[in-house]
Structure 1
Amino acid sequence: MATAPLAKGANLPVDAPAVRAELSWSEGPGVPDVDASALLLTAAGRVRDDGDFVFYNQPQHTTQAVTHLGKQQAGGRYTDSVEVLLDSLGPGIERVVLCASADGGTFGQVPGLSLRLLDAATGAELARFDMEATTETAFVGGELYLRGGRWKFRAVGQGYASGLAGLATDFGITVDDSPPSPSPAPPTPSPAAPLAAPAAPPPVPAPPTPAPSQPPSAPQAPMPPAPAPAAPVPAPQAPFAAPPPAPYPPTAPAAAPPAPGTHPAPAPAASPAASGGPRLVKGEEHLPVDMRKRLSLRKEQVAISLRKHGAADVSARVIIVLDASGSMTRLYAQGVVADVVERMAAVAAELDDDGAMQAWTFASHPARLPDLHLGDLPDWLRLHVRVGQLALFRPRKKRKGLENGQVDMRTVGIQNEEQKVIAEVRAYVREDPAPDPTLVLFFSDGGVYRNAEIERELREAVEEPIFWQFVGLGASDYGVLERFDSLGGRRVDNVGFFSVDDISGLPDPQLYDRLLSQFPGWITAARRARIL
C-alpha cells in the first residue's frame, strides 16, 4: 500500500530492523546516469574513515550493515537501492545519509525523481519523498537518524552543484576525483631524504681492516645532506651520517685491489656464512650510497638470523604484499611503508638468487606491481608504494599522469579484501613454478573481516610450496590471521603472524628474527610431508 508523500523536512519513526532506500526515476532521452549511495556518520556528522562511504565502487560496508544493491529497470523506470540493517550499524553510527549522484548531466534533467523507504523484509512502503532539482549533480534525498534510542527517517532534498565530490567532502571523505600532479606517493628515497631513521645500526661481525691499497670506504665527509624539513619521518640526522670506517660491502679481504668503480664480492658459490659477509646483488652498486650502506648492514643481519634458525643455506622466492586500504594512508604518508619495503629488499637479496621480489598491492581488489629489482629500489619506491584511492566516479579512462607500470589506485579501492590477493598470489605460484619454496611477506594494519574466505584460501594453500608470513602494522582486528597457529586440520603450519605497534622503531635484528623464525621450520616440515 502506497503512503502519502512526505514534505521536505518531514520525519517519521522507523520500526523495521532493516530497510531499503530505493531511488527511482523515469527513462527518457538525455537523462544522465544516476547512482544511489550512503554515508555512515557519527554524532559529529562525519565519517570515521573512507570506508564509511558505500557506493558503486565500494558496494558494502565492512560491517555488512549497509549494501549498495545496484540498478534495475522495469515499466519505464530505473531504480537504484541501498539496504541498511539498522541493528547492525554499531554504537558509533548515529546517521545514515541517503545520497544520489548524476553523471553526464544534472538532476534537473532527471524526470520523476523519488526516494522510497521500504521494509526490507516485507517490501512494504514506509515513506516516499518526491524530489525536484535544477542544476544539482549530487543530492541528499533523506537520512536515517537515531533519536532517543529510536531510528527515524527525514526527507532532506538538499542538492550540491559541486557533485558527489563536494557532497562527500562535506562529510569528511577524502576525494580523488581528479588526478593530482604529481601522483600521491611517499617521498622518493634518496641520499637527501632517507626513508626512516633506524633506532640503531644492527650489530654485525667486525669487518677486516682494509689494506692501504684498497679503495676507501664511504668518505667521512661530506655525506649526503640531512633530510629536508619536509621529510615525513622526523629524524635529527641521516641514519648513516657517521658511518663506521669499513669497506663496502664487508667481505673477506681481496687478494688484489678491485678495479676502480667496482666493489669486492665473494665468489658466486659462497654462502653468507662461508664468505663472512653478504653477497653483492646485481644492480646494488647503482644505489645511493646511504641506501647501499643500510642494505649492506641489513643483508648481514638477515644472514645472521638465518644462521641462528639453522637456515644459512636456504634459498627462496620472495613475494611482498602491501595493504593499500584507506586506513593505511597515514603509514604511507609518513614513509613507514616505503621503509618496510626497503628493509624487505634485504631479505630478497639474501634468499633469492637474483635479489628480486614479486610484489602485489591490495585493498578492495588486488593489483600486481612490477617486480622489484634491487638496483631500481629508489624509483620503485617512488612509483609503486602508493595507498589506495577512493574513486567517486567510475574509472572509464586511464588516470592521467601515470608513469609506465604504475597501477591506477582508483581500481584498487580502499576496503580490506585479503582473500582476493591471497588467491591471486597462489595462482601465480602455480602458474610460474620455481625450484625454491616461496616466502610471502604480507603487511597489513588489520581490519580483517573476511575470516571464512581467508581461512579457506590458506587451508587450501597448505599443500603448496608457499609460507605466508603476515605482519600487523599496529592497528587491530587481524581476525583469523592471529588464530591460525591454533587452528588444526593442517598437515603443516604454513602461516606465521606477528604484529608490532611501531615497525619503524623495531631494530633490524629483532625484525628479521621475528620475520624468519617460522619459515625454516616450515621448510623442514614441508619436506617431510613431500610438499617440497
Structure 2
Amino acid sequence: MVTSLVKGQNALLESERVVVSLRTEAAADVSALLVTAAGTVRSDADFVFYNQPVAPGVRLVAGSPAALEISPAQLPADIAQVRAVLTLDDPGRRFGEFAPPVVTVADGAGTPLVEYRIDGLSGESVVIALELYRRGPQWKIRAVGQGYAGGFAALVTDHGVQVDDEPPAREPAAAEAVPQVRTVPGEAALSLEKRATLDLRKREVAKVLLDKRALGVRARVVLVIDKTGSMHKQYRRRVVHRVVERMVPIATQLDDDGTLEAYLYAVSYAKLPDITVAEAEQWAQTYLHLSGVHEGIDYNRLGGHNVEPPIIRAVLDTVRPGDGPTLVLFFTDGGFAKKREIADLIREAAALPAFWQFIGLGKANYGLLRELDDLDGRLVDNAGFFALDDIDQVDDAQLYSRLLGEFPDWLRAARAAGVVR
C-alpha cells in the first residue's frame, strides 16, 4: 500500500534499495545532494547529477526524466541525509506554471512505497522534493517541498558545493540540431545509394550521441554474434547480415578507425577479420555461416549450441585497465545455461573499461539477460539488455537509441568510479 505524504511528514524506510522518480508536466532534471549532519556536502563529489551520476550509495538512472537509485546501507557513515532535487530544464519557467510535480519512492522491485505531491510551488525553478535521513539505526523519508527562487546555483551553494556559475540547462534545441558526422576511409568506394543509406544511419547514431552528451566520444566497438543452430532462421533469412550492415555506422562514429572487431561464437569462438565500411557487405558473405569451412575457419568445430563464458573471457582479455572505453554489442537468441559463471564474469568485467550491450534476436527465453540490471557486486552497472522480436521491423532511429541508450551513462559512471580515465 502506498503511503501519501504531505509537506513535513515522514515515513519509515525499510527497503534496502529504493528508486526516487518524478512525474511532472515540465521537462526537469533530478539530482541528489549527500549531506552531513551540518547540512552540507563533504566535497563536490557528494553532488549527483547528469555530469556526475554516481556517488557511494546513490546512482542517477537514465530516463526522461531520470531517477535516483539509493542504497542506504552503502552510504558513507558521515552522510546524514540524501536530498532529492528537481530542477526545471528551462531556467525561465517556474513550477507554478504547471501542475504540481509528484515524487514516488519505490522499492528495488518497483513497488511504490511513498508518494508526495508537491503542492504550493509558485515562483521556484528548483525544489528539494524529499530527503532520506538517518534516525538512529534506521532510515526515514521526509516530504520537504522546499523551493528555491534563486535557482540552481543558490541551492547548491547553500549546501557547500563550489560553483562558478549556474550549470547550463539541457538545451531542447540540441536534439533538433543536425549533428556533425564522421567520415571514415572506404566510404568513397560505396555506391551512391549505399553511401546515402550509410549517411542517414550515421546521422541517427550521431543524434543519439548528441542527445546523450556523448558526441565526440571515441570507443573501440566489438561485435559478437551467436552462431548456434537455433539461429538457423536468422542466418537463412539474412537477418544477421543486415545486423552487421546496421552496426557499421556505430563504429564510424565511435571507433578511431571506423572499424568493427568481430567474433562468432557457439561452444567455442572465432575471431574474425575486422569489418570496414568498404568491405562490410563482402565480409558478411564471406564470414556469416553456421557450418562448413570458410577462409580457413572450421565453423563445425565451433559447435552448435551456445556456451558464453569462453567468448566473454576472450573479449575480456582484450580489455585492460587504463584503456579507452570499449562498447561490446553482443547479439544472441538466449538460452544462457551457465548463469553463475556468466554473472561472475560480468561482475569481474565491471572493473574494466568496457560496456556490454546484449541484444536478443527473435522470440526466445533470455533468462539471465533480463536480470542484468539487478546484478549485484559490481563497481558500476556495466551491462544492458533488450530484445528485438524482429529487428527488421525496428527503424534506425529506434534501433540506435536502444543500442546506445545506456553506453553514455555507463561511461560517465565509469569515469566517476575511476574505471575509465
d(CA) in 2 for partners of 1:291, 1:435:
33
Q: Which residue of structure 2 aligns with residue 488 of structure 1?
A: 376
Q: What pairs with 1:377-392 in structure 2 (closer than 5 Å)?
A: 377-388=280-291
Q: Deviations over 1:74-132 (max 9, x none)?
A: xxxxxxxxxxxxxxxxxxxxxxxxxxxxxxxxxxxxxxxxxxxxxxxxxxxxxxxxxxx
| Secondary structure of the structure 2 residue equivalent to 1:358 | strand
| Secondary structure of the structure 1 residue equivalent to 2:357 | strand
Is the 8 Å Cα contact of residues 440 and 467 (structure 1) preserved in structure 2?
yes
Is the 8 Å Cα contact of residues 324 and 388 (structure 1) preserved in structure 2?
no
| Structure 2 residue 329 is matched with structure 1 residue 426 | no
Shift of the alpha carbon at 1:484?
A: 1.0
Which residue of 289, 294, 298 maps to 1:408? 298
Instruction: Give the TM-score normalised by structure 2.
Output: 0.56
Q: Which residue of structure 2 aligns with residue 221 of structure 1?
A: none
d(CA) in 1 for partners of 2:314, 2:227:
16
Q: Which residue of structure 1 aligns with residue 408 of structure 2?
A: 520
Pair 1:435–1:460, CA change in 2 (3 A) = closer
| Secondary structure of the structure 2 residue equivalent to 1:428 | coil
Q: What pairs with 1:14-413 in structure 2 (closer than 5 Å)?
A: 276-388=179-291, 399=293, 402-403=294-295, 406-413=296-303
Shift of the alpha carbon at 1:436?
A: 2.3
d(CA) in 1 for partners of 2:191, 2:241:
16
d(CA) in 2 for partners of 1:413, 1:341:
22
Pair 1:273–1:507, CA change in 2 (3 A) = closer
Shift of the alpha carbon at 1:478?
A: 1.6
Is the 8 Å Cα contact of residues 223 and 329 (structure 2) preserved in structure 1?
yes
Pair 1:484–1:297, CA change in 2 (3 A) = same
Gaps of 5+ in 2: 1-174
Q: Which residue of structure 2 aligns with residue 463 of structure 1?
A: 351
Q: Deviations over 1:135-180 (max 9, x none)?
A: xxxxxxxxxxxxxxxxxxxxxxxxxxxxxxxxxxxxxxxxxxxxxx
Which residue of 342, 347, 358 maps to 1:454? 342
Q: Whose radius of gyration is greater, 1 or 2?
A: 1
Is the 8 Å Cα contact of residues 179 and 210 (structure 2) preserved in structure 1?
no
Which residue of 388, 391, 397 maps to 1:509? 397
Identity of aligned residues (%): 44
Aligned partner letter, 1:453: E
d(CA) in 1 for partners of 2:249, 2:322:
20
Aligned partner letter, 1:370: P
Is the 8 Å Cα contact of residues 369 and 407 (structure 1) preserved in structure 2?
no
Is the 8 Å Cα contact of residues 319 and 359 (structure 1) preserved in structure 2?
yes
d(CA) in 2 for partners of 1:317, 1:274:
26
d(CA) in 1 for partners of 2:323, 2:378:
23
Q: Which residue of structure 1 aligns with residue 328 of structure 2?
A: 440
d(CA) in 1 for partners of 2:322, 2:186:
22
Aligned-pair Cα RMSD in Å: 2.0
Pair 1:276–1:453, CA change in 2 (3 A) = closer
Shift of the alpha carbon at 1:437?
A: 0.2
| Secondary structure of the structure 2 residue equivalent to 1:515 | helix
| Secondary structure of the structure 1 residue equivalent to 2:370 | helix
d(CA) in 2 for partners of 1:438, 1:273:
28
Instruction: Give the TM-score normalised by structure 1.
Output: 0.45
The structure in which a higher percent of residues are helix is 2
| Structure 2 residue 409 is matched with structure 1 residue 530 | no
Report the number of matched residues: 246
d(CA) in 2 for partners of 1:413, 1:287:
35
- Moved runs in structure 1, 4+ residues, more than 4 A? 272-276
Is the 8 Å Cα contact of residues 179 and 207 (structure 2) preserved in structure 1?
no
Gaps of 5+ in 1: 1-271, 390-398
Is the 8 Å Cα contact of residues 206 and 215 (structure 2) preserved in structure 1?
yes
